[in-house]
Amino acid sequence: LHVDRQVIGCSDHDGEQAYNLDGEEMWFADFIKKEGVEPQPPFIDHMTYVDRAYQRAEVHQQICKTNLDVARRAMKDFKIED
């Protein structure tokens, strides 16, 4: 039995998307270099992610930032309870 995780997160100036298998990072989006990175060691059978994975990561970042903006606008009138 394996544990597979996908992490997507963003802020105003940064973003993250990564795929992990059993606690090991298998792929992540490098938004500075604008490419997907597969940091797998050379002694394993290399796993490759589907074509256009990086382009999907960019779309997920746009969605994340839109959702962040919506949440900020929705929460701006909530008062902090003491």
| Domain annotation covers residue 80 | no
- What digits encode the pLDDT tens for the residues 30-44? 999 999 999 988 888
Structure tokens of 76?
């701006």
- What digits encode the pLDDT tens for the residues 67-80? 999 999 998 877 77
Which spans in 1-82 are helix H? 53-75
| Domain annotation covers residue 10 | yes
**Sign of the alpha-carbon torsion through 77, 80, 81, 82:** negative
| Domain annotation covers residue 82 | no
| Domain annotation covers residue 20 | yes
Of 61, 64, 24, the closest CA to residue 43 belongs to 24
Comparison of pLDDT for 18 and 77, the residue scoring more = 18
Please count the structural domains in the chain. 1
Where residue 40 sits, what CATH number does that domain have? 3.10.320.10
pLDDT score of 61 more than 80: yes
Residue 17 CB coordination number (10 Å): 23
Containing domain of residue 60, as a range? 4-75
